[in-house]
Amino acid sequence: MSYLPCGQYFESYLDDQKWWRTPFIKAKMIFMLVVVLALPYLVASEWLSVFYTINYYILAALGVQLLIGYCGQITLGHAAFVAVGGYTSAMMILFIPWPTFMVDSGLVYPISIICAGFTAAMWSVLFGLPSARVKGFYLIMTTMAAQWITVPLVITQYVSQIGGRGQSFSLPPGLIKIGPWTIDDDVKIYYFSAFLVLLCLLAMGNILRSKIGRAWIAIRDNDIAAETMGVNIVVYKLIAFFVAGFFAGIAGAFWISALFFVSPEHYEWFYSLLWVGIILIGGVGSIQGIVFGSAFVVIIFKLLEMGVLGISEFVMTSYPEIGWVTTKIIFFKESAFGLAIIFFLIYEPNGLSYRYWQLKNYFNLWPFSYTGK
């Protein structure tokens, strides 16, 4: 919880339980919304892909945050559920003989997104079943099994072979259509992603402040006490897997609009780890943390990429005789991610969102900042 400035009182429970409790917070949120909407006009167009990648990571890491940060169920196989979402959506678009009016009115893709959510959710529940029996380390192993079974086995060996197109399904341009809009350039992809992120964050925030979310947090903090207070922990863990899988499915279905094709290499185990890393960096058990973490990781990757490209170019032109160096520094990106996680675990274990929280309280309590804990 965070502190409000002095002199803020509420006269009804409704006011006290509101999300945006003060005019200042309201103004801040509206400002943020305006920034999100105006972003395509504010940044250079090559940065738009960075922003929708951030949004994709937010959507994907949302489920990871839900499971690890709010329900205490560590998962290392989330890319599997994103893959299920992506493949469900792509295959529904490609292989179902939709009536033309549905294709023309742009209903196919939205329907496929919802179905992707449900398929991924059911797939996730399937691999969540062991959580009824096992905890901690053993659960990590079973979620990893989800990754290995889904991506290299089911998807690569069987699903990808459907239609005999080899490894990847490509989506011809113009197929991905939402109502009247064909998603075909970065601006539209960006707006679409921003819309999904807002919707999903809203849903997540609302769940967390009602019965189900509290039950998850209770299971995370003390499952025995939760059970004693009447929480059916098996059911609520499975609901957590369901919702996390649903978000993953939406993330996967969104991402095909940016890629125009799906292939197993977009769902490698690295991504499962990356999304866990994102919530470690952003802050475990915090919704803002997902946003901070995703933004941090994607922007750092982008900067490193630019840096590495710059250095390689410089080396190649000035010192062509040591050109082999450039092949080595390509891997800086991944190792920088590893280093960032180590750094955060040691120096900032509560993540970026904790710093933000401290900053906020500092200003809210100013000039009596020492009262904040």
Partner 1 sequence: MSDVILEARNIFLSFHGVAALTNVSFKVHKGEIFSIIGPNGAGKTCMMNCINGLYHPKDGQLFLKGVDITKMSPHKRASMGLSRTFQKIELFGGMTVLDNIRLGRHLHLNSGLLSSCIYWGKTSKEEISARKFIEEEIIDLLEIESVRNEVTGMLPYGMQKRIELARALAVQPELILLDEPLAGLNLEETEDMARFIVDINEDKRWKVTCVLVEHDMGVVMDLSDRVMTLNFGVKIAEGTPKEVQENPEVIKAYLGEVEDLYVSRR
* Alpha carbons 301 and 311: distance in angstroms, whole number: 15
Residues 80 and 245: beta-carbon distance below 8 Å: no
Question: Shortest Cβ distance from residue 118 to partner 1 (Å)?
Answer: 12
Please, which residues bridge with residue 170 across strands?
261
* Alpha carbons 288 and 351: distance in angstroms, whole number: 10
Crossing angle for the helix pair 332-347 and 287-318, nearest 10 degrees? 140
Residues 122 and 245: beta-carbon distance below 8 Å: yes
Looking at the Cβ atoms of 228 and 318, the one nearer to partner 1 is: 228
Question: Shortest Cβ distance from residue 243 to partner 1 (Å)?
Answer: 7
Amino acid residing at 326: T
Looking at the Cβ atoms of 202 and 303, the one nearer to partner 1 is: 202
Looking at the Cβ atoms of 234 and 329, the one nearer to partner 1 is: 234
Question: Shortest Cβ distance from residue 320 to partner 1 (Å)?
Answer: 57
Burial class (CB in 10 A: 0-12, 13-18, 19+), 144: middle
Question: Shortest Cβ distance from residue 220 to partner 1 (Å)?
Answer: 7
Question: Shortest Cβ distance from residue 120 to partner 1 (Å)?
Answer: 16
Question: Shortest Cβ distance from residue 215 to partner 1 (Å)?
Answer: 6
Looking at the Cβ atoms of 184 and 227, the one nearer to partner 1 is: 227
Looking at the Cβ atoms of 110 and 307, the one nearer to partner 1 is: 110
Looking at the Cβ atoms of 211 and 328, the one nearer to partner 1 is: 211
Looking at the Cβ atoms of 15 and 265, the one nearer to partner 1 is: 15
Question: Shortest Cβ distance from residue 222 to partner 1 (Å)?
Answer: 5
3-state secondary structure the chain: CCCCCCCCCCCCHHHHCCCCCCHHHHHHHHHHHHHHHHHHHHCCHHHHHHHHHHHHHHHHHHHHHHHHHHCCCCCCCHHHHHHHHHHHHHHHHHHCCCCHHHHHCCCHHHHHHHHHHHHHHHHHHHHHHHHHCCCHHHHHHHHHHHHHHHHHHHHHHHHHHHHHCCCCEECCCCCCEECCEECCCHHHHHHHHHHHHHHHHHHHHHHHCCHHHHHHHHHHHCHHHHHHCCCCHHHHHHHHHHHHHHHHHHHHHHHHHHHCEECHHHHCHHHHHHHHHHHHHHCCCCHHHHHHHHHHHHHHHHHHHHHHHHHHHHHHHHCHHHCHHHHHHCCHHHHHHHHHHHHHHHHCCCHHHHHHHHHHHHHHHCCCHHHCC
Question: Shortest Cβ distance from residue 218 to partner 1 (Å)?
Answer: 5
Question: Shortest Cβ distance from residue 242 to partner 1 (Å)?
Answer: 8
Residues that bind partner 1 (CB under 8 A): 1, 13-14, 16-17, 203, 206-207, 209-215, 217-218, 220-222, 224-233, 239, 243, 285, 373
Looking at the Cβ atoms of 206 and 369, the one nearer to partner 1 is: 206
Question: Shortest Cβ distance from residue 267 to partner 1 (Å)?
Answer: 26
Looking at the Cβ atoms of 177 and 220, the one nearer to partner 1 is: 220
Looking at the Cβ atoms of 161 and 206, the one nearer to partner 1 is: 206
